[in-house]
Structure 1
Amino acid sequence: MRGLRWLLWLAPLLAIGCGDKSSAKNAPADAGQSAMVAKTADGGPEGGVAQAADAGEVDEMSAPPASGEELASRMRHLLEAIAQNNPDLASDAMFPRDAYIAAKDAPDPGKAWEKKVASAFRHSVERTHTRTKGASYAKFVSFELGKTISQTTPKKKDFKKPLWRVKHSKLTFSIEGKTHHLLIAEMTAWRGNWYVSRLR
């Protein structure tokens, strides 16, 4: 009789213990599923990356800003190249080769870039250094983008896509306290930035 009473008293406790183990076993799975559902709803890591990529896309239909630290920094490099008579110092200011290849309608756009952009740029840097008295002491003052910005019309043997272009941008510098100006013949935009496509 005592044994029967003992079993009757112990049975509810065993049932509670089993129930707790079952709940504990299912809890992580439910939490994991909830986390997965939450990530799916938010877009998850993949969705976040995609949104960031979309947000970083450049609006090619709008002209790039006329000023900014990034542009001013590259124009400083241009002045350094002229001051030191070393065109390589301003490679980031020159219209990029890959951009020219992608946009130019030519049998060999890479070769055309070397001749019409790179070679001409190097020659202009060297000539400007030679013709500017005291060029080695030049100090950057400011840069001002040209006033008249236009968009090119795609055509054969020229750019096959519309690009923004501006003429007569002004690079201001000083040499031993005297102010000088360099008018940049032509700048062309690519992926939201302005580059020198023709220096002089």
Structure 2
Amino acid sequence: MLCILAVAALVAGCGSNGPTASQAITLSAAPEAPSSPSPNPSPSPSVDPGTLPQTHVLPQADDPAFQAGVQELWNAIVQDDPSIALPFFFPKSAYLQVKAISNPSADYENRLIPWYKLDIEAAHALLGSNADSAQFVSVTVPKSQAEWIVPGVEYNKGSYYRVYGTRLDYSVNGHTASFGIFSLISWRGEWYIVHLGPSTRSTNKGIVYAPEG
């Protein structure tokens, strides 16, 4: 297994252990459609959700937007093309609303997005020659560990739900393995990635977080 590097302080917090089965919601590769609409429907695709005010709605892992985002992430990893998964990353306009740092725009563009791209490339390297045959199996979000982060915490002026411990399972030639998504945060009732790999690292290199199998 490829184990990739880590460690230099980030704005967002530290990780936690993975969830137990009883704590988590698991999404399979072909989930059933939810029986009722999302409690906070996404705005029109023409509207940048980050320009709208935050809501106190806890995201659901069976939400179609989240399912689509996970599939975008998986496709980006398999194809070694981070641009595919950029819509699944926390919106820049929302980041500007929540972060109380001197230059959140530069932090977003010069640190968060480059690390996200490097981490996707690192996950592709983890698959190696098996990338074309690797299959997405499921994603598990430990819903009970989601925490509402208030202003003044994590250098914030705004709030959001944050969850550690999400894991993505995949299969290669009948063998199942997984890796972690370091942290998801919410905007208007939807989960987005803010750190695919760890939120601290000492060098500007991609990191596959907690690979197993």
The two structures have a TM-score, normalised by structure 2, of 0.62
Displacement of 1:108 in angstroms is: 1.7
Secondary structure of 2:87 counterpart: coil
Change over 3 Å in CA distance of 1:101–1:180 after alignment to 2: same
Tell me, in whole angstroms, the C-alpha distance in 1 between the residues paired with 2:193 and 2:153. 22
The C-alpha deviation readout for 1:88-127, integer Å capped at 9, x for no partner, is 0101111111111111112221111113321110010111
Q: Between Structure 1 and Structure 2, how many residues are aligned? A: 145
Q: Which runs of 4+ in 1 moved over 6 A?
A: 56-59
Using the TM superposition, give the Cα deviation of residue 131 of structure 1 relative to its aligned residue in structure 2, in angstroms: 2.1
SS in 2 for 1:92: helix
Look up the match of 2:80.
85
2:119 aligned with 1:124:
yes
Give per-residue Cα distances to partners, 1:147-181, cap 9 Å, x unaligned.
41111131277121121000111112222222121
2:131 is matched with which residue? Answer: 135
Which residue pairs with 1:97 in the alignment?
Answer: 92
Report the 3-state secondary structure (helix = DSSP H, G, I; strand = E; otherwise coil) of the residue aligned with 1:185: strand
Check if 1:174 corresponds to 2:171: yes
Give distance in 2, aligned partners of 1:129 and 1:87. Answer: 10
TM-score under structure 1 length normalisation: 0.66
Q: 1:193 to 1:85 in 2, by over 3 A?
A: same
- In the alignment, does 2:185 pair up with 1:188? yes
Return the alpha-carbon distance in structure 2 between the equivalents of residues 157 and 194 of structure 1.
18
Aligned-pair CA distance for 1:66: 2.8
What CA distance in whole angstroms lies between the structure 2 residues aligned with 1:82 and 1:163? 27
Q: Does 1:61 align with 2:56?
A: yes
Matched AA of 1:103: V
Query: Quick one: percent identity of the two aligned structures?
Result: 26
* Unaligned residue ranges in structure 2 (runs of 5+): 1-42, 44-51, 198-213
Q: 1:70 aligns with which of 62, 65, 77?
A: 65
> Partner amino acid for 1:137?
S
CA distance in 1, matches of 2:99, 2:164: 19
* In 1: Cα distance, 2:94 partner to 2:155 partner: 13
CA distance in 1, matches of 2:172, 2:124: 12
CA distance in 1, matches of 2:110, 2:53: 28
8 Å Cα contact 1:154/1:162 also seen in 2: yes
User: How far did 1:59 drift?
Assistant: 7.4
Q: Distance in 1 between matches of 2:110 and 2:149?
A: 21
1:24 is matched with none
Contact 1:85 1:125 in 2 (8 A): yes
> Residue 128 of structure 1: CA displacement?
1.3
Bigger Cα displacement from structure 2, 158-167 vs 139-148: 139-148
